[in-house]
Amino acid sequence: EHGGNLPKAAVELAKDWRTERSLQRLEAVIAVTDKKHLFLISGNGEVIEPDDGLVAIGSGGTYALAAARALMYANPRLRAEKICVKALEIASDICIYTNRNITVEVLK
């Protein structure tokens, strides 16, 4: 609908989410990305593009995000999959609602 324009599509989704009656009670956050952009979209109408290219959502998301940032800055050559797994393991050690059943799928 928006010709591959992810920023425009993200904003329109956030608008629809706020105004569409069937979606208004849905309290969630989604992460969307393409090769150029990364956004967090919430049911409150927020569209957030992180400065550092990292996002985390869920109960242990803040712990995982902090761990991912530390790992990324400590070793910038570390692959994204390794950062993801290690950050989730660290989050699972801190947050009782985050478990260690981790599956990482890499899209190419």
Q: What confidence tier does 61 reach under pLDDT thresholds 50, 70, 90?
A: very high
Q: What are the backbone angles phi and psi of residue 45, rounded to the nearest 5°?
A: 95, 10
Answer yes or no: is pLDDT of 44 > 90.
Answer: no
Q: Tell me, what's the pLDDT at 43?
A: 81
pLDDT digits (tens, 9 = 90+) for 65-103: 999 999 999 999 999 999 999 999 999 999 999 999 999
pLDDT for 72: 94
Give 31: exposed, middle or buried? Use CB within 10 Å, 0-12, 13-18, 19+: middle
What letter represents residue 43's amino acid? G
pLDDT in tens, 5-27: 999 999 999 988 888 887 777 88
